[in-house]
Amino acid sequence: MLKAHGLKCVRGDTELFSNLEFSVKSGEALVVKGDNGSGKTSLLRILCGFSHPVEGDVTWCDESIFRHDSFRQQISYVGHQSGVKMDLTVLENLSFMQRLAGEGSDASKLKELARYVGLFKQRNVLTRKLSAGQVRRVALAKLLLEQRSIWVLDEPLTALDKEFIVKFELDLKNHLDKLGLLVVTTHRELKLPEFRVKQITLS
């Protein structure tokens, strides 16, 4: 159970949100909506433990994430910035992600993953030469490499084509079916089982 307790976030002189309370458990998705500047990205960063709220706390299994030694090791985060190395090829990026995930090098697995995300033909192309949608695919591939229990995604559908979105939505559903937890911001509707989805709107 990931739980927010009276969260308050301030950026500069602006209060983005306060007294924010919610909970989401394994097998569920929390969809965060709101206008630009409402604090969606700031909330995700707090939930990951990257930044602290002005007030309140976030707990995982009833323990503050800011005192939970292993919490961050359970998170896969994909933000607005893709986080890929633009001067590495697709395969080199996947290999780098694989090492960060603590796995040994497995070239065949990486090629299969490149094929799965539709980039097998571009596997040896420098990432900076790819389209925005292709770069996004490389970034999202790390979710499948890391195999972590909590996925935190900031506008993951940006620049993706309809065909890949269908495949990605299936990956999200499979993650929930395996009792993974998902927190996601999106301006577009995600096709996920309604009984697994909670929603909050920041204003």
pLDDT tens, position by position, 129-168: 999 999 999 999 999 998 899 999 999 999 999 999 999 9
Structural domains in the chain, CATH included, are: 2-84+137-202 (3.40.50.300)
Confidence band, pLDDT 50/70/90 cuts, at residue 187: confident
Chain centroid to Cα 87, Å, comes to: 23
pLDDT at 19 over 80: yes
pLDDT of the residue at 89: 97
Give the span between the Cα atoms of 47 and 20, in whole angstroms: 12
Give the span between the Cα atoms of 30 and 192, in whole angstroms: 11
pLDDT of the residue at 137: 96
pLDDT of the residue at 157: 93
Contact 96, 83 (CB under 8 A): no
How far lies 122's CA from each of 113, 125, 128, in Å? 12, 5, 12
